[in-house]
Structure formats: structure tokens, C-alpha cells
């Protein structure tokens, strides 16, 4: 029985690999990348299948061992399908981006001149993402009726030099919010240090990030982290100062870890009723030029995409989630923004206990949040 499980799964994976390598002739570096990453993915599936099966062999109960082997094969089948989906998404990305090879790294491109983030002011800042020190935004996430998640984004006065570029450190902390017996508790789910650089054109580039993901208050993993110049990772254009509708580009490049892309869909956009409607706090319908609308996607998570909306001079105001191209109802809205952490105490934010919120923020990112705010 064990031998049948193993050889059956092995033949399936071998057939997948041979079929792909024999039926696809890569014409570009981008397509070759998709092919090689598919082979890497299927090899990882084989490795995990064998390791799972090895653990099954150490179960003394025959029925439990057989159930374990069945679950190993089911998991391998699911993972194999995921490999195929990611490969197809990468090939589609090649067409969307129209690229051969993603080279050079923007941070090393002599045609792009970067500025010291300390010199950025209201006039020179990217109107969709300001890197002025002190800028603070509060967002909420939910289904439009309940809002269990709160996100605080704060542009620090700190910098990190990456491949010779001075990149601004922006701290982004997502928290689950629970209220019980009149007390509000904030539990951090993700704490990210984003590193952004701005060019003289106003374009903002993604230099990398350190992403800490928590489970029940305990650090679980650093998935999504990357730094340009390390392990062959490269920076990407996070958002253009002058978006061209129909254009698309990479925002980051660390294969298998960070492959976000953005496509500019429309200017003067207003969220439709099907998308859940406008953000009442920052409505696109009342903005002088409507909203910039983008589609944000990643080949390594092909089922999930987002539509994002930006108001010129304010920045991000709304994101709506899609799964397999269908709107899920999940959204993230900008609640309030300001030039310092003092905004946390403003009526616009509507935060029930800003002192407790700041304590939580300070505990996770003392250099960014342990200061004089709210005094």
C-alpha cells in the first residue's frame, strides 16, 4: 500500500514536470523564469511529500498510518495544483509587463536619481504616497459592517541605506481590535518596516521590507521580507508620480517571496456599488479629480487581487479584495491622517483608547512610537 502511494504521486509529479518542459519553449527571460520556478515548486512538493510520508511511517497504528499517507497525497495534489496556478500567473505577468528580464535593479540604474528623504516637503512629495517624516495614517479593515482590524502607518524620521540609496523607514502595524467590559485590546498581527526611496521624478521605489507576522501574539514568521541587493532580490517602483493608464510594473522582486505588481486602471475613478461604494471619510466622488484606481496582484498568490483607490494629495483611501476575480466584500479604508502621531487623538480617528493603542505601538516599534504624542 505504501509503495503504491509513493510511486503514484511520483509519476504524477514527473509527468507534470516533463509535460511542462516539453510543451513550452521559453522565448524571454521572464518566461524562462516562470518555467524554472515551476520546476523548483514541483521539486519542493516532492520533498514535502516524502517528508510527510516518512513521518507517517512512524505511526504504529495501521489505520492512522494509512490515513496519514492519504493526507500526504491529498496535500501533494493540492500543492501541485498551486504550482501550476502560480506558473500560469507568472506567464500572464510576462504578457502584462511586456518584459524580457527584470534588470537592472532600479536602485542601481544610473538614469534614476534618488534624493535624501529629509529634503522631501509638501511640494516635492509623491502625491499618492508622501515620505515626509511624521505623516501618520489610520486605516480600518473589515467587511463594511464590522471592522475587526486597525492599521497604523507612520513615516519615521529614520533612514536605511540600501545599495547606496537613502531609503525612508515607514512602519506599518496591523492589529486585531477587541472590546470587552469597556476595555479595548489591540493584538498585533503584522509589524512591517517598509523601506522606500524617492527619485527626483517623484516616483517612490520599494527598497525592501522586514515583515514580522504574529500568531496569537507570538512571532510566527518573516514571510514577505526582502532587501534589494540580498539573495538576488531587487527593488521595484512602488507607485509612479505620474501614472499612465494601462501601464503595469513590478513593485518588488524576490522570487517566491515578494512578487507584487500594480496595473494602473483609471483616473477620475469612483468605487462602484458592486465594489462596496465609496469611503465615506475620504470619498472619491468628492475629490476634485476623482481617484486613481489600480489593480494590485502577485503571481505567488494568483487567486487574490485588490483594487486600490488613491486621492491626489491624500494618498491611499480604499482597497477592495477579490478572490478568483470575484469581489469578496472585504475592504480597507483610510479613517484619518495627519502630520504626526497626535492625529491618533483626533475626533476624526474615533479611537476609543489612543493611550492604549500607543502603548501597543510603542512596545512593538519603540523607535517609531515611544515619544511625546498625545501629551
pLDDT per residue as tens digits for the range 135-155: 999 999 999 999 999 999 999
Report the number of distinct structural domains present in the chain: 2
Q: Any idea which residue has 463594511 for its cell?
A: 144
Question: Nearest to residue 257, comparing CAs of 9, 40, 28, 84?
Answer: 40
Our CA angle for 139, 143, 145, nearest 5°, is 95
Collapse the DSSP code of 229 into the 3-class scheme (helix H, G, I; strand E, B; otherwise coil) and give the result: coil
Given CA atoms 102, 107, 112, 118 in this order, what sign does their dihedral have? positive
Its pTM surpasses 0.75:
yes
The answer to whether residue 126 sits within a structural domain is yes
Are 231 and 352 in the same domain? yes
Cβ atoms < 10 Å from Cβ of 192: 18
The answer to whether residue 330 sits within a structural domain is yes
Residue 211 backbone dihedrals phi, psi, to 5 degrees: -110, 115
Q: Which domain holds residue 31?
A: 2-97
The answer to whether residue 122 sits within a structural domain is yes
Are 12 and 143 in the same domain? no
- Per-state percent for the chain, helix, strand, coil, to nearest 5: 30, 35, 30
Are 80 and 145 in the same domain? no
Are 185 and 245 in the same domain? yes
Are 21 and 121 in the same domain? no
Here the cell at position 92 is 500572464
Are 51 and 117 in the same domain? no
Are 121 and 93 in the same domain? no
Are 119 and 230 in the same domain? yes
User: Is residue 18 predicted with pLDDT exceeding 60?
Assistant: no
The answer to whether residue 104 sits within a structural domain is no
Lowest-confidence region among 22-31, 113-122, 313-322: 22-31
Question: Nearest to residue 169, comparing CAs of 140, 201, 191, 151?
Answer: 191
pLDDT in tens, 302-359: 999 999 999 999 999 999 999 999 999 999 999 999 999 999 999 999 999 999 999 9
Residues with Cβ < 8 Å from 288, sequence gap 6 or more?
312
User: Is residue 2 predicted with pLDDT exceeding 90?
Assistant: no
Are 82 and 131 in the same domain? no
Are 356 and 261 in the same domain? yes
pLDDT in tens, 240-279: 999 999 999 999 999 999 999 999 999 999 999 999 999 9
Amino acid at each position: 500500500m505504501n509503495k503504491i502511494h509513493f510511486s503514484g504521486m511520483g509519476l504524477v509529479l514527473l509527468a507534470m514536470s516533463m509535460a511542462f518542459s516539453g510543451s513550452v519553449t521559453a522565448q524571454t527571460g521572464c518566461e524562462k523564469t516562470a518555467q524554472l520556478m515551476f520546476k523548483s515548486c514541483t521539486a519542493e512538493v516532492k520533498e514535502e511529500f516524502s517528508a510527510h510520508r516518512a513521518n507517517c511511517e512512524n505511526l504504529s497504528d495501521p489505520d492512522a498510518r494509512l490515513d496519514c499517507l492519504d493526507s500526504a497525497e491529498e496535500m501533494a495534489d493540492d500543492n501541485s495544483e498551486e504550482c501550476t496556478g502560480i506558473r500560469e500567473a507568472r506567464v500572464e505577468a510576462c504578457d502584462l509587463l511586456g518584459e524580457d528580464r527584470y534588470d537592472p535593479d532600479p536602485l542601481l540604474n544610473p538614469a534614476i536619481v534618488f534624493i535624501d528623504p529629509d529634503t522631501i516637503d509638501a511640494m516635492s512629495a509623491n502625491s499618492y504616497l508622501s515620505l515626509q517624516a511624521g505623516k501618520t495614517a489610520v486605516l480600518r479593515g473589515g467587511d463594511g459592517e464590522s471592522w475587526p482590524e486597525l492599521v497604523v502607518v507612520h513615516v519615521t524620521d529614520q533612514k536605511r541605506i540600501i545599495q547606496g540609496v537613502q531609503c525612508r523607514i515607514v512602519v506599518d502595524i496591523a492589529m486585531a481590535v477587541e472590546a470587552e467590559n469597556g476595555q479595548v485590546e489591540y493584538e498585533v498581527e503584522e509589524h512591517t518596516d517598509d523601506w522606500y526611496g524617492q527619485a527626483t521624478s517623484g516616483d517612490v521605489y520599494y527598497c525592501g521590507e522586514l515583515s514580522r507576522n504574529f500568531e496569537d501574539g507570538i512571532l510566527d514568521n518573516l514571510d514577505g521580507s526582502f532587501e534589494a541587493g540580498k539573495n538576488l532580490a531587487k527593488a521595484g517602483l512602488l507607485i509612479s508620480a505620474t501614472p499612465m493608464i494601462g501601464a503595469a510594473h513590478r513593485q518588488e522582486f524576490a522570487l517566491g517571496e515578494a512578487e507584487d505588481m500594480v496595473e494602473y486602471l483609471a483616473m477620475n475613478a469612483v468605487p462602484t456599488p458592486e465594489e462596496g461604494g465609496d469611503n465615506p471619510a475620504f470619498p472619491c466622488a468628492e475629490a476634485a479629480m476623482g481617484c486613481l484606481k489600480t489593480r494590485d496582484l502577485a503571481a505567488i498568490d494568483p487567486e487574490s487581487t485588490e483594487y486600490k483607490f488613491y486621492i491626489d494629495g491624500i494618498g491611499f483611501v480604499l482597497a477592495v479584495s477579490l478572490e478568483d476575480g470575484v469581489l469578496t466584500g472585504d475592504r480597507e479604508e483610510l479613517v484619518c491622517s495627519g502630520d504626526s502621531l497626535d492625529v491618533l487623538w483626533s475626533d476624526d480617528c474615533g479611537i476609543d483608547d489612543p493611550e492604549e493603542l500607543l502603548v501597543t505601538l510603542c512596545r512593538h516599534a519603540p523607535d517609531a512610537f515611544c515619544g511625546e504624542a498625545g501629551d
